[in-house]
Structure 1
Amino acid sequence: MSSACPFSKAGNAGGVCPMKFTENSDNHQAENGDTGKKDGDDSAVLSPKCPFGYDSQSFKLGPLSCLVCHALLFESSKCMPCSHKFCKACISRFKDCPLCGADIEKIEPDTDLQEVVERFIEGHARIKRSQVNTDPKEGGGEHKNVIYEDVSMERGAFLVQQAMRAFLAQNIGSAKSRLSICVEDMREQLERTGNTSELCSQLGAALGMLGDCCRAMGDAGPAISYYEESVEFLSKLPAHDLEVVHTLSVSLNKIGDLKYYDEDLQSARSYYFRSLDVRRNAVKNNPNVSSQMVDVAVSLAKVADVDRNLGNEGTAVDGFQEAIKCLESLTLDPKDTALEQRRLSVLEFLHSQLAVDPNPVNVSSV
């Protein structure tokens, strides 16, 4: 899954993003109505109170989380005879209960608990406010309606956090389910508000993560569809946002990888080259960002690899050499050890491609 967080401006404690813990998030209390009132609206806004101990700022889940993946329960199941409850995908990997160590004789679905989890998702990240209406048919008298309204950014951040936890624990079905709800929320908001930069960025990233889920499940067709839709939304955004540029180029590369595995080399090269073009433009706009130059080298290697497999050896060698030149001319901050390790890893691969006879080696793992 992408490391770029589409919800860094959503509500979370201490500016901690649920996807990228080093990012800062903006204070959006006024946006979500946490001030108690909205401009031009005298209706009071009340924070939801959860009987299960849910905290909308720190995303504490209480008893509705799985001990194995640490995300919201998905397809809640209990292992017998101890009756301890986990996600179905999580507990299916064990012969003994992870909580008490008892032998698992069988696993049973817990539909009642799962219904509670689904109501939990549906009911949280909402605000409750009373609305005063005047009905002229009844003599102009006032009456109050209590209505609920989604706070989609906070809800989205919560769902993305749960999806990331589940994905990292290999509970792909859970991750896909949470992301699907998140994407549906954002599509509905797009219909109400139109395309805003922030919403397009968030939707593009979430669609890319859905593509990752499908890819992990072996569903190449749906994965490509999600990646292509991610590209569609991210392409609408200004090119000065480096995280958007990175997410866009990664989605293009992932489509290229899937085309490559399907032996559609011409399509693979087309998507790899589009990613390369995006990254080259990013370097032009941000020449001092070293990570962008490493990304360009990776894209050059991908394009060159396809050229070699297409029989264009001279073009492939030129691409490998250009990528080497990019990386060897790059001076990094000594403190940035992770980027230096990546640079050396890519360099090693590139030199190996020039040192051996042409072989159909895919560079999707670089």
Structure 2
Amino acid sequence: MVVGLDTSCYTTSLALVSLEGGLLGEARRLLPVEAGMRGMAQSEAVFHHVRNLTGLWQELPLPAGDTEIVGVAAAVRPRPEPASYMPVFTVARSYGRFLAAALGVSCWETSHQEGHIVAGLYGLAVGGRAPDSGEEGQETDPVPVRWETLGAQLPPEFLTVHLSGGTSEILRVAVARGGRLNIEVVGGTMDLPAGQLIDRIGVLMGLPFPSGPHLERLTRAYEGEFVRLPVAVHGGYFSLSGPETMACRLLQQGEPPGAVARAVEDCIAKALEKALRYLAAETGLKHVLMVGGVSANARLRERLRHRLGHRAVGASLLFPPGKYCTDNAVGAAGIGAKNLLASWQE
């Protein structure tokens, strides 16, 4: 089996996968953000990751028998770029290298973004929505998935929306030989990530951090009049700093929190809709994989399916089960398994 590690800005994650493609077990723990705060300093997050990892390992449902660890994989940077860096990911790098050295196995280093994409593909394989069904499936574990052919249900190139607290990018993804991902940024936010918009407005309303699930519940419960937030979209890129300013102003003017919560969600959906319409026309790519914690939002999914899935646009939106959208180490472990299998075939 292969061990995966991911220490992102707000979640410590471990995962175990088999080379045959099964998810053997995983464990995650959110970092404790103080009430009323909109985040956590990197140094404090590093401290919590170090403290979490031992406890998380003990929580992993280790498989029975003589299953051997044959590889380790760690998300060591935010994006697959040499200059991409955040201190929190040094924890996964250090622990991954130490564990691999102690066991005498290889350690593969990947990025948090690549992990999200592979976790999303895995989620689709074990229970995600079929490309044109309009429904999100339910996972039925354990389901064997061949790591080396993961994503075979998609065209060789497709679009991916990585939507989270730290990133809001639209990517052109090509699956190369051996399952390696070639990633090009073709759109996304020009300033504020979607998750930060949600968290900033949510905390201003008095909601816990991270605010996504709480804001979503507030939206579902609201039955009053709606307000709208204008959003600027230029080609595949959009700006969310203006909507943040307007949402703050609406709350100061006494607008109901539920109305503003719904406006925030609708504004993000509208920005993505316009950007994806443009990019689908420009690139000719119609398959869109949605990953990252914000992409688990039910209202966002419903609107994008409705507006982009009809015949006039013809996009095929792919939504993995929610647990494979939020931060996890399943993708990192899967990347390790794919690399190990590829090395054995050389």
Considering the TM-score relative to the shorter chain, is it more than 0.5?
A: no
The structure with more strand, counted as a fraction of residues: 2
The structure with more helix, counted as a fraction of residues: 1
Q: Which structure has the bigger radius of gyration? A: 1
Normalising by structure 2, what TM-score?
0.23
Normalising by structure 1, what TM-score?
0.22
Q: Which has the higher contact order (CA 8 A, sep 6+)?
A: 2
